[in-house]
């Protein structure tokens, strides 16, 4: 039966089906990207984006891994990401969601590929386990040869973040730890001191957990590296 001979209701149904299909495809395409303004920097590879509907999305930069907060260059990496993205309008091309509920994606601030730029400036490593882009390895090699960012550190201090976290989870000492917990010379603000406490179960509240993370160098309290210690206490 030709289209001219088909009943009008049949043609209408076909048009409706096509329209619904196009709407679904448009929604899928829209869901693959997020746009908004960066309103927070958690660490060197995680930021917070405020969308058009005032919703906040925590974004973990795909394919890179920045030094943890208490690693050598950890604070510098966070500042680098802040310089590149904080307060700017960005576009995030999504790659999925991680086990902590963060959106994984590539972040673009105008024409700048923020993920690649973090590698180029020596503020992050290529995350070997999740890398899909071979060009990032070349960018990292260039940064290494130019001794930019963390690559200017002594070799013994350049522990890949994933190895650092594994050592923390296993309770192992790091081969090269360039910091030490401050001496417990007296109570700090809030009455906390750096004493023998080592685990979240020993913390009385979130304030104490944050003190141990920021002042005592007890990075094991922040197992996922998002800057929030003992999440059962601080969520």
Just list the catalytic residues.
60, 68, 102
User: SS3 of 152, please?
Assistant: helix
Give, in order, the Cα–Cα distances in Å from 156 to each of 67, 148, 152, 160, 175.
14, 16, 11, 11, 7
Q: What are phi and psi of 213, to 5 degrees?
A: -70, -50
Nearest residue to 60 via CA among 227, 181, 172, 219: 227
DSSP state of 37: E
Q: What share of the chain is helix, strand, coil (3-state, %, to 5)?
A: 40, 20, 40
DSSP state of 56: E
Give, in order, the Cα–Cα distances in Å from 79 to each of 10, 75, 97, 118.
61, 6, 25, 11
User: SS3 of 113, please?
Assistant: strand
65 bridge partner residues: 125
Q: Give the containing element (helix H, strand E) for 133.
A: none
Give how far the C-alpha of residue 18 lies from the chain's centroid of Cα atoms, to the nearest Å.
39
């Amino acid at each position: 039966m030709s289209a001219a001979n088909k009943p009008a209701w049949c043609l209408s149904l076909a048009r409706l089906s096509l329209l619904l299909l196009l709407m679904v495809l448009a929604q899928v395409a829209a869901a693959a990207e997020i746009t908004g303004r960066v309103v927070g920097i958690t660490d060197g590879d995680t930021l917070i984006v405020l969308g058009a509907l005032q919703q906040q999305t925590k974004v973990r930069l795909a394919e890179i891994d920045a030094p943890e907060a208490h690693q050598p260059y950890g604070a510098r990496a966070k500042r680098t990401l802040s310089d590149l993205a904080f307060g700017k309008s960005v576009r995030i091309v999504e790659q999925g969601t991680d086990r902590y509920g963060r959106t994984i994606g590539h972040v673009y601030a105008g024409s700048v590929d923020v993920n690649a730029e973090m590698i180029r400036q020596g503020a992050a490593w290529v995350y070997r386990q999740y890398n899909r882009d071979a060009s990032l390895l070349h960018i990292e090699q260039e940064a290494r040869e130019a001794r930019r960012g963390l690559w200017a550190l002594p070799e013994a201090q350049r522990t890949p973040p994933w190895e650092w976290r594994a050592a923390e989870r296993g309770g192992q000492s790091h081969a090269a730890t360039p910091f030490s917990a401050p001496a417990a010379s007296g109570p700090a603000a809030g009455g906390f001191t750096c004493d023998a406490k080592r685990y979240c179960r020993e913390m009385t509240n979130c304030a104490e957990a944050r003190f141990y993370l920021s002042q005592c160098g007890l990075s094991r309290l922040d197992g996922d590296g998002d800057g929030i210690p003992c999440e059962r206490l601080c969520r």
